[in-house]
Structure 1
């Protein structure tokens, strides 16, 4: 792929409301901001309300110098919020408000054109919970050159039939090990060995690239029939919010450079994910030099 990659991230922009304050978030935005920090030229397709929180959101995004041309406004629905609770280990659980502005992302000429011209189109499953945004996504996917599906199962905001359908429309899929188990069970894949599960999943969905994160045990990448793995990096977990998004951003930023092997890309992604888990919030500043330093440990 060419030297500078262009990508579009589609989906929710929201505020994670913690017991002690709130932080800008939403997996597609976290991913978008992290990819931009890694040198990928990014745009974001989403929708905000016209409330005070929307103004706060736009000025927060401005701090990252992200292009906001494709972020729509909604006069009727409020800007998205999620109530986050953390357990003793720092693992998060979420209560996601509904309906909110990002549930009604409209199809426009501008976002169709942007998707058609970008190298990569990255989307998650949460934004597909509502019919309006889901239909927009269905229209945009055939126009993309290379679609990456970030499976993000948040009960009760998904139907597994929709998830499988989106997997079939993507060229690359990322999920965690618990999500893999749920999808494999739904598709009645009998094998209990992950490599065999991914081989079956790849055949069923015609996806050549599948990545599975396994928490502190690292991650695996199934690419064109080959399985690559990395055992992860140690970190003292502060909170896991955004760690998976940064992992995927790290993977994408490295995977499409010809000089990198799948192992290189996986190691870079695991290092970045571990570093984000060791900091508060999803969008802490981390330089490429710091990631390489972590990899050298």
Structure 2
């Protein structure tokens, strides 16, 4: 059974590389395009599997060809898809527009990616795992999964993503042991709805993009890492790769936890992801160690 369960969105991504983002009523040239699986939960699941972590995915796809392709790609990557629900309707499709600097604009529909609920995760799967990673999804589903995982003694991590501004995830955040945020999310939504980050009394990893990341520990200590300079190709999925690296490093169960190493590994994974097009990068421990040694 899986050691980590990832829950959240499973999408089919259409990536369009353009020479620039056009202004209103403007036009840009498409320089490249490709299609592949995406969605934060499935991105993290694939990265964890590549890092030799047994991983299962809880999410939902539609009955269309995109759903079949997404499931087949995940299974080929070694992800346990026994909890992946097939729902009536279309699989969520995201159109990722990437400019020459690797910055991304996302257009999409939700499709069937929130058609699953907490009851779709069996007790057997939950009891066999040691970590539950939650991503942007329906708030009640996320909260119920966090409750079940906490009761079963699992560590819970949560990356709410950009929807934190529009959804009330306070119940899930209150149960999370590890919270992943970017600068914008940390500076606005969390402080507006939950008070100061320093008062959350949990591990908070704040991503600064190309400038690295920092971690606030439950004891109120800060650990920071400057990241790794890379020639950015596409930032899609870099945050998901970061989360996967951090989780994989924490699974060592060192006491006390080595947040410094976890942050370095996470930044290395994010850097590797930013060097490749698409949401799924070629990540391995050999690649990570090479990045760490080069630094």
- Give the TM-score normalised by the residue count of structure 1: 0.85
Counterparts of 2:63 and 2:194 in 1: how far apart (Å)? 45
**CA deviation after TM superposition for structure 1 residue 185, in Å:** 4.6
- Is 2:209 the counterpart of 1:215? yes
The 1:110–1:122 alpha-carbon spacing in structure 2 relative to 1, beyond 3 Å, is closer
> How large is the Cα RMSD of the aligned pairs?
2.1
**CA deviation after TM superposition for structure 1 residue 256, in Å:** 3.1
| CA shift digits 1:83-140 (9 cap, x unpaired) | 1112342111112203x11221134365344234311111112x22xxxxx4333322
The 8 Å contact of residues 273 and 282 in structure 2, kept in 1 or not, is answered as no
The 8 Å contact of residues 96 and 107 in structure 2, kept in 1 or not, is answered as yes
| CA shift digits 1:35-82 (9 cap, x unpaired) | 11112111000111111111222222222122111011112x211111
Q: 1:131 corresponds to which residue?
A: none
Q: Unaligned stretches of 5+ in structure 1?
A: 129-133, 190-196
Alignment length (residue pairs):
271
**CA deviation after TM superposition for structure 1 residue 265, in Å:** 1.2
Q: 1:79 aligns with which of 91, 95, 107?
A: 91
- Is 2:263 the counterpart of 1:266? yes
**CA deviation after TM superposition for structure 1 residue 158, in Å:** 5.2
| CA shift digits 1:155-213 (9 cap, x unpaired) | xx8535x1233211211101111110112451485xxxxxxx5313x1xxxx4211000
Counterparts of 1:36 and 1:279 in 2: how far apart (Å)? 18
Q: 2:72 aligns with which of 35, 59, 72?
A: 59
Within-5 A mapping of 1:131-280: 134-144=139-149, 145-154=154-163, 159-160=166-167, 162-187=168-193, 189=195, 197-200=196-199, 202=200, 207-224=201-218, 225-259=220-254, 261-280=258-277
Counterparts of 1:109 and 1:216 in 2: how far apart (Å)? 37
The 1:106–1:151 alpha-carbon spacing in structure 2 relative to 1, beyond 3 Å, is closer
Q: Unaligned stretches of 5+ in structure 2?
A: 17-32
The 8 Å contact of residues 161 and 181 in structure 2, kept in 1 or not, is answered as yes
Q: 2:103 corresponds to which residue?
A: 91
